[in-house]
Amino acid sequence: MAIFVDEDLTASPNPTTLPKRVEFQQTLRSSRPSEAVRITYSLSQPHNVWFEDTDGQLQKQIVREETIGSAPQVCVDRITMTTGPGIGGMLTVEVSQAIIDSHNNVIPGLVIVQIQS
């Protein structure tokens, strides 16, 4: 019925240069023995930092699915971040996260990634 965030979302390496495969990590647990969740990572539309999907396409949003149990579980998503069309010169980028549980409850998250040139 509920997803709990035991350890907040982090990004590594941070700071980083682009393009780079960034590891997003956090620890989650469920109030149920097993629960399917959808995890969405999003970037702001105007700037030139993008995610690159497994097909090499630039995306501003990446969706992952995970099954969370009642014991604390470290969730790791490795996503390539790169540059593309948009406003450049970013020194920091907000990566927003939304975890949607089996009852469509949304648990928000956020991590700031520092960009080195």
Beta bridge partners of 25: 10, 76
Considering its fold, how many domains does the chain have in total? Answer: 1
Of the candidates 63, 94, 77, 81, the one whose C-alpha atom is nearest the C-alpha of residue 28 is: 77
Q: Are 93 and 11 in contact (CB under 8 A)?
A: no
Given this model, what pLDDT does residue 1 score? 61
**pTM for this structure?**
0.95
Q: What is the mean pLDDT of residues 13-35?
A: 97
Average pLDDT for the chain: 96
| CA Rg value for the chain | 15
Instruction: Give the CATH number of the domain where residue 15 resides.
Output: 2.60.40.10
Checking if the pLDDT of 32 tops 80, the result is: yes
Given this model, what pLDDT does residue 36 score? 96
Identify the domain containing residue 23 by its residue range: 3-114
